[in-house]
Amino acid sequence: MSNDASALSPSITSMIRLDHMHVLAASHRYHASTPWWRKRAIVNGVCDALDIHAQLEEEIFYPALDRALGRDETLSKSRLEHDEMRATIAKLRGMGPENAAYDGIFFQLIREVAHHVADEETILLPDAERALKSDLQSLGAAMTRRRMQLLGERPMDIAVNAAGTFPVATLLLGSTLLLALRHWLPRPRRATRRG
């Protein structure tokens, strides 16, 4: 990505905050009374988002912070929290919504995420904004490029889970796209009858 494109990229800290909001917003759609198919979509979507988020932080954000801050206790703790979340995700992926423990394990994952988000947003992100000030946009651009690669590995899973998590929004977006296509695509001409 050129320097011009990097300058237009959101900062890496803004992107991390957006990831946090996305996961927490999706988790609020999960309730014990939610239909099983929607539970599965929400859980799969949250787990995929967390997997990608953790990988992006570990590949791009944490190494940059290591270079800028040196050994940092909160950063070390964040890496351990990623491992704990991955263990909980593995439990969820090893069962389905019909399992009595499914709801409890998902809620445990969300508690782990909320704790992790609190530490990152109150300590690590402000530290990064001070220590990495001149690199925030270029790191955001690098994160965007890598995210696109990771999303490209499983586009259908992501689309299906998003549709199950946000069915009304998906219906509205799909309807809007169909109407736009109908408007912009050429219409077949009807044959005229001669008689």
**Rounded Cα–Cα distance for residues 42 and 29 (Å):** 8
Over residues 158-183, the mean pLDDT reads 63
Instruction: Give the side-chain half-sphere CA count within 13 A for 103.
Output: 11
Query: What pLDDT sits at residue 136?
Result: 95
pTM of the entire structure?
Answer: 0.78
In the chain, where the domains are located: 3-184
Are the C-beta atoms of 108 and 27 separated by less than 8 Å?
no
User: Angle at CA 171, nearest 5°, toward 165 and 175?
Assistant: 155
Q: Picking from 7-11, 20-24, 138-142, which range would have the lowest pLDDT averaged per residue?
A: 7-11
Query: What pLDDT sits at residue 124?
Result: 94
Q: What is the DSSP string of 28-86?
A: TT--TTS-HHHHHHHHHHHHHHHHHHHHHIIIIIHHHHHHHH-S-HHHHHHHHHHHHHH
Query: What pLDDT sits at residue 174?
Result: 59
Query: What pLDDT sits at residue 173?
Result: 59
Q: Picking from 127-131, 153-157, 179-183, which range would have the lowest pLDDT averaged per residue?
A: 179-183
Are the C-beta atoms of 124 and 75 separated by less than 8 Å?
yes
Instruction: Give the side-chain half-sphere CA count within 13 A for 104.
Output: 3
Identify residue 7 by its one-letter amino acid code.
Answer: A
Going by pLDDT thresholds of 50, 70 and 90, the confidence category of residue 77 is very high
Query: What pLDDT sits at residue 1?
Result: 46
Handedness of CA 6, 57, 159, 17 (dihedral sign): negative
User: 22-62 pLDDT, tens per residue?
Assistant: 999 999 999 999 999 999 999 999 999 999 999 999 999 99
Q: Picking from 28-32, 115-119, 128-132, 152-156, which range would have the lowest pLDDT averaged per residue?
A: 152-156
